Structure 1
Amino acid sequence: MVNADIEIETLAEFDRVVARGSLSGYRIQSVNLLERTFALLSADTSAAVFLGCAMEPDASVKVRADGALVFPPIPDLPFNPYRGLLYTAEELFTGLAEGYEATPDAQAYAWFQETKSDGDVFSSMLRSIHDDAISDALDEHLAGARVIGVMGGHAMARGGTDYRGAAELGRTLARSGLTVATGGGPGAMEAANLGAYLAPAPDEALPEALELLAKVPSFSPSVSDWARAAFAVRERWPLGGDSVGIPTWFYGHEPPNAFAGQIAKYFANATREDGLLARSNAGVVFLPGAAGTVQEVFDNATPNYYESRSEPTPMVLVDRAHWTERLPVWPLLRALASGRAMESRIALVDSVDEVPDALAAMA
């Protein structure tokens, strides 16, 4: 069996497997088994691994006696380190009616702020386990998908022409069959996820949604109001398209946006950054941004620079003036690419309207 075949992440999966009489060798992730005591007492659980699964004491004694490894749930944590699935916006923003500070997302950030520098190996271990579980869930979710990364600055305000352009780009890419993946935060990231979310909707839905969102242009000063405006759009168009957001609690003052269908939120920013770029197998689009986006350009360029046996992934930089005058990234990128395989896989365009043709030319 391949690894994905031995993972059990829902109660329905557990019931299907245990009906065959054996859990031997399976990895059961964060499934509440308090009502499955008889099944656990009856099944072969040798060499199984239970990660954060609540179970009755007699069931726990029995599976340990079988030789299973049991990692019990950790009490009083605002997150589940053993989770088997990605987050959803609804999950991260549960309790938003009482204010953002009451949500699991805000509580996890507060826990991280308290523990990131305390030197406690247990806290750092929990963060590592969580992030590894998220990577596993993300790989499973994206298996077989053609993923296009869209990078850009968090400061891009709702209601502006740049935000509209990023949203239209996300919609165009999603409608072409690509899975849009962003850093999962506000600004350009939210806009691209919004466009993908509204891809199944009629064309007029996007300008209407942009008008609603423009009433709360930024997550500052109120994350609560900013997030509520997004959920109002989701309520107006409830059947949104899928996309992925990959944010981090390392920059937890920037909240995740509510338009990504699946959210892979990490504690470690380096893991998050590298994972987002590495999974963008159909290319990466870089909208205007500052230090973080510049870092992502060269994080992505590095493996492309050393790639010689197969074609590097396409890179498209949007806004010629931004990348050549305000931040002279394009000249350096061209100098790096000169004479290498990546030279034919980089492009600089003036607007988001040119991105699909640039990607098609490099396909």
Structure 2
Amino acid sequence: MVRPVHRAQHIQHVESLSEFETLLDRLLDDKLAGVHILKVDLREKAPELDALDPRGALFAECQLPAGYDESLRAAGALVFPKLPAFPFDPYRSQLYTAEELFEGIHDREYEHVPDTQIYAWSTEDHPESANAALAVSLHDHAINIALERAHPENRRLVGVMGGHSSVRGSENYAFAAELGHLLANAGFTVATGGGPGSMEAANLGAYLYRLSPEELRAALSDFSGEFDNPTLWARNAMRLRQAYPQSGENRSLGIPTWAYGHEPPNVFANTIAKYFTNAIREAILLEKCGGGIVFLPGAAGTIQEIFQDACENYYAPTSKLAPMILVGSEYWRQRYPVWQLLTALAKDTPMEDYVHLVDDAESALSLVRRHQRRSSRALERDARS
């Protein structure tokens, strides 16, 4: 649905000629600022284009009247031409799905599905290096925009971070699945790094949120296959996903990266925001989780995410603080003594009330809910003032 454009920072996609014509009818003025027009044939729309102010607009792979490429650029628009063929769409307007990334997995090995083909391309040297770099940048920017469109309300997103080593059938895996299930049933969207292990388990629990806790445990009871055999790992997961088709509620989000090519994305995210550049992906993942982040046991990657999130909270205004909930007292006090450093950093700052250590999923959910109520009250006060 095409809505009026009010300000430049509002990004609006137009992907067909009919959407372009609807846009013209609904514009509050003649300004195209913030409009991204993707792959539309505008060769017969010279009069309409002449009447518009294209500053701040983006035209990607559009067919334009003769000479309009340069005139639009001169007037302040970005005009991107058709790029060479890549195994991905640099101008895509939607997030990925498991079916798209794993297309054909039931009939062929994992190395032949689109996800692996894109990863393989990303590791190669490209003769057209300038075009390849542009395509990667455009792709990750497009994913940013698609993610914002799919999840505009950050306060309802709760991150679950944890290691990739939790195996299907283990207690740690079941715990992460239970946590994702509890959060999704409380109305939150569970966001993870989109990989295997605890990330897959949390996405799985959220994906199956309609099941009872007993039904969830039954679904997990014979779920096997580890990602050292990615073909079997993915096939078993797709079979489980197909056995429990969901009705489209977006309670499970994965944000993985091709930078970690050895970790396939899990299939239990309703939508997948997959990036080439891991630094962008990490920053976006932490930024989107406005409802807080629950940190399960993990190693270097999880510890990095803890202190990256701590840095965000340390310098954030009070209105932007989000809870950090570490699960596993012995793990975070003894094996990796993160808790001591984290609480020392937070001491005597507004962040101090947002750092927690618990040992069970129900306590983690209770804290997320408590901070959600606190945030809602603050927003109400701000609205009244």
**Does residue 250 of structure 1 match 2:259?**
yes
* CA–CA separation in structure 2 for the residues paired with 1:189 and 1:3: 36
Partner AA of 1:255 in structure 2: P
**Does residue 107 of structure 1 match 2:114?**
no
2:158 to 140, 145, 148: 148
Could you tell me the TM-score, scaled by structure 1's length? 0.87
* CA–CA separation in structure 2 for the residues paired with 1:71 and 1:284: 37
Deviations 1:154-195 (A, max 9, x none): 111111111111111111101111111110111111111111
Q: Partner residue of 1:166?
A: 176
Q: Partner residue of 1:350?
A: 359
| Contact 2:84 2:131 (C-alpha < 8 Å) held by counterparts | no
Name the SS of the counterpart of 1:50 in structure 2.
strand
Partner AA of 2:245 in structure 1: P
Pair 44,122 (structure 1): closer, same or farther in 2 beyond 3 Å: closer
Q: Partner residue of 2:22?
A: 16
User: Structure 2 matches for 1:1-363, cutoff 5 A?
Assistant: 1-3=6-8, 7-11=12-16, 13-14=19-20, 16-17=22-23, 25=32, 27-31=35-39, 33=40, 40=45, 43-44=48-49, 46=52, 47=54, 49-53=58-62, 55=63, 59-61=64-66, 63-64=68-69, 67=72, 70-96=79-105, 97-115=107-125, 120-145=129-154, 146-214=156-224, 216=225, 218-221=226-229, 223-239=230-246, 241-242=249-250, 243-310=252-319, 312-362=321-371, 363=374
| Contact 1:311 1:342 (C-alpha < 8 Å) held by counterparts | no
How much has 1:18 moved relative to structure 2?
5.9
Could you tell me the TM-score, scaled by structure 2's length? 0.83
Comparing 246-255 with 15-24, greater Cα deviation is found at 15-24
The sequence identity of aligned pairs, in percent, is 44
Unmatched 5+ residue regions in structure 2? 1-5, 375-385
Name the SS of the counterpart of 2:164 in structure 1.
coil
Deviations 1:184-234 (A, max 9, x none): 1111111111111111234444223213422x1x1112x111111111112
Name the SS of the counterpart of 2:66 in structure 1.
helix
Unmatched 5+ residue regions in structure 1? none
Partner AA of 1:220 in structure 2: D
| Contact 1:284 1:314 (C-alpha < 8 Å) held by counterparts | yes
The Cα RMSD (Å) is 2.7
How much has 1:75 moved relative to structure 2?
2.7
Pair 120,312 (structure 1): closer, same or farther in 2 beyond 3 Å: same
* CA–CA separation in structure 1 for the residues paired with 2:305 and 2:215: 31
Name the SS of the counterpart of 2:356 in structure 1.
strand
How much has 1:294 moved relative to structure 2?
0.2
Pair 207,92 (structure 1): closer, same or farther in 2 beyond 3 Å: same
| Contact 1:115 1:123 (C-alpha < 8 Å) held by counterparts | no
Name the SS of the counterpart of 1:213 in structure 2.
coil
* CA–CA separation in structure 1 for the residues paired with 2:21 and 2:11: 14
